[in-house]
Amino acid sequence: MSKRSRRPQARKPAPPKLDLSDLAAEDAAVDSTPTDDQSDEFVAPVWQHDLLSVEPDPVDERQLKALMSTWRRGRATKRLSQVLQDGYVAVFSVIVILAMLGGAVWRAQGNASACESTTCQVGRTLLPWVMLCAAFSLTLVCARIFGPVVASAAEGFWLMDAPIRRARLLRRRLIGVLVAVALGATAMGALLAALTGYDPPRIVQWAAALGLGAAGLTAFSALEQTFARTWLIKLVQWLSGLSAFVALATITAVAAGWVDLTFDDWGSNQIVIAVALVGAVLLLVFGLAATLRLDQIHRARLVSGGSLVSGMQGAMFAMDLGLMRDILVARESMAKGHVRPTYGVGRGLSALVWREVQRLYRYPKRLVLWFVSLGVPFAVGALGLRTFSPFISALVLLIAFVPLLGSLRVVTRTRGLIRGLPFSNPQIRIALSAVAAFLALLWSVIAFTAFYGLGQPVTSFSSAATTSVLTAAAGLLAAVRWVTAKSADYSNPMMQVGFGAMPPGLMFNLIKGIDIVVVVTGPLLLGWSHWISVFIVGVVIFALSGRFNTEEMQQMQAELQKEKAAQKSGGPRKVIAPPKR
């Protein structure tokens, strides 16, 4: 016993004891008292008010938001400074990335001074417009899918049904979204203008045009959200995407010598300034109108966007980009509701191939990115970056082929489905990738002229053909690697990093697919022999064919160990079938 426990403790006074007999006597006296209203029948109590007719007490939204902020901050376990101290790896990575971007901008500025040909000048003039229209289209897509004004499921459960003014709670969120979009788009516009080789005044103009335009379109989407309609947003989105494609096609036509165009720098500057002014007007007008109509947003629309954001945050926490795309695909399917069923065609593996053709016919918009990728090597060649054309084109093909390999992702994630098909794993993968492989071959044929040289040849015929085929193969194999890659296994031992414990395969989820592009197109960038890339492509095809599955081998080994243990114990012998190849 410690010294502290040996010390005499001061006793607390005991509470007064209740005499239960006195209480019982008082109750009996009250019950025996005769009353005029006493009767033999039970009379139910009658309330003098109705809960539905009670006027609710007014709630101050500012005090409610302050209470919510206090509740959230009071339960925080770390300060922002502590988080930054633990994230020294992220800070170092950001510094390295900024240094790489700074070097690229410096080299782009140096190359821009030597750009004197008509093709290069047209490419420098139109390529920022391509990126501007593409950024506007992406902004509208994100605003239409997520909100842009959202609320969590908990807030939709109790907060949005409370007797409060919804606009005062959502106003700050809308302003925060507009500010975030404006700042992000401004930084992107400045980076794109700097990479194109513009001087500082032009960089400021393009940054303002992209930032104010993206913010204005976000405000327009917020106003459409109050009316619960999306068709007008889709219309503007497709017009913006079509404008980007037309500008990219114009660059290709000028580079091929089909069209002779010249652009005035003064007129281009005035158009950029006009875009910035129009974006500012849209931001003010639609932003104010959306702020006044925030009370009209339905709770279901707010909660659906919030649930989607929370799901994307969880997928991003796991660094699983494939799961993020699965969430978006499921959301799109739920919005569509139903489709018209179609009969299958063929038998055996041909049935799987024709099923992919039917899916492509049912969702033709998945080919939009493939059509856009056709103009990438022409645009890159027009800018004088022919050396980097295989790498850039393969990255774009990676993004374009991922939507075409949805069935392959489902099959690789569902083991029971593979076992239910009477084919081996390599046969299933080849059949489900046949349509994407045909499109890759068609892309290599069309993009051959970009690598061979527009107007006059810049390389040999065989070298251009090999480079085109290897670029298409790099994009296709990178997409196959992206959709068939396994998610991080949290059952394995964790790896200690600056952020804490992390599964070993979690960091590689961010570079899956990109590693195949680097490995295949790296020898082409370094000027090595094409046969090295051909050999690497063969190795990658053999590795991605699914002939060697470590998990199946582990299961087979476990079954063999059970069989040996059963034989030693004298039990019945079990025949183990080898896994399908």
pLDDT band of residue 28 (cuts 50, 70, 90) is: very low
Per-residue pLDDT of 341-392, as tens digits, reads 778 787 888 888 888 888 888 888 888 889 888 888 887 877 667 788 888 8
Q: Distance between terminal CA atoms of the chain?
A: 71
Q: At what angle do helices 406-413 and 461-484 cross, to 10 degrees?
A: 40
pLDDT band of residue 51 (cuts 50, 70, 90) is: low
pLDDT band of residue 188 (cuts 50, 70, 90) is: confident
Q: Is residue 90 part of a domain?
A: no
Q: Is residue 449 part of a domain?
A: yes
Residues 439 and 311 in one domain: no
pLDDT band of residue 58 (cuts 50, 70, 90) is: low
Report the b/e string of 467-479 with b at 16+ CB within 10 A: bbbbbbbbbbbbb
Residues 122 and 217 in one domain: yes
Residues 290 and 426 in one domain: no
Domain-ending residue, one of 317, 346, 377? 317
Q: Is residue 288 part of a domain?
A: yes
pLDDT band of residue 216 (cuts 50, 70, 90) is: very high
The single-letter code of the amino acid at 157 is F
Q: Is residue 479 part of a domain?
A: yes
Residue 15 pLDDT exceeds 80: no
Q: Is residue 450 part of a domain?
A: yes
Percentage of residues in the chain having pLDDT higher than 90:
10
Residues 383 and 519 in one domain: yes
Q: Is residue 568 part of a domain?
A: no
Residues 384 and 530 in one domain: yes
30 vs 395: which has the higher pLDDT: 395
Q: Is residue 98 part of a domain?
A: no
User: Domain count of the chain?
Assistant: 2
**Lowest-pLDDT choice from 112-121, 398-407, 459-468:** 112-121
pLDDT (average), residues 207-227: 91
pLDDT band of residue 281 (cuts 50, 70, 90) is: very high
What 3-state class would DSSP assign to 547?
coil
CA angle 255, 132, 180 (to 5 degrees): 155
Cα–Cα nearest to 157, from 302, 42, 5, 23: 302
Per-residue pLDDT of 555-576, as tens digits, reads 667 777 777 777 777 655 554 4
Domain-ending residue, one of 284, 300, 317? 317
Residues 299 and 406 in one domain: no
Rounded distance, CA 126 to CA 379, Å?
10
Which residues, including other chains, have CB under 8 Å from residue 572's CB and lie 6 or more apart? 566
Q: Could you tell me if 367 and 360 are in contact, meaning their C-beta atoms sit under 8 angstroms apart?
A: yes
Task: Tell me if the bond preceding 148 is cis, omega within 30° of 0.
Answer: yes
Which residues, including other chains, have CB under 8 Å from residue 492's CB and lie 6 or more apart? 503, 504
Domain-ending residue, one of 283, 317, 351? 317
Residue 419 pLDDT exceeds 80: no
Backbone angles phi, psi at 46, to 5 degrees: -115, 120
Q: What is the pTM of this model?
A: 0.70
pLDDT score at 282: 92
pLDDT (average), residues 97-120: 60
Residues 373 and 516 in one domain: yes
What 3-state class would DSSP assign to 342?
coil
Residues 283 and 414 in one domain: no
Q: Could you tell me if 256 and 156 are in contact, meaning their C-beta atoms sit under 8 angstroms apart?
A: no
Q: Which domain holds residue 273?
A: 117-317
- Give the C-alpha distances (Å, rounded to integers) separating 360 from 324, 355, 399, 435: 22, 9, 16, 9
**Lowest-pLDDT choice from 57-71, 96-110, 426-440:** 96-110
pLDDT score at 161: 66
Residues 219 and 309 in one domain: yes
Residues 310 and 375 in one domain: no
Residues 269 and 367 in one domain: no
**Lowest-pLDDT choice from 96-105, 178-187, 426-435, 513-522:** 96-105
Residue 232 pLDDT exceeds 50: yes
Residues 271 and 395 in one domain: no
Neighbours of 190 (CB within 10 A): 20
Q: Is residue 88 part of a domain?
A: no
pLDDT band of residue 30 (cuts 50, 70, 90) is: very low
pLDDT score at 409: 85
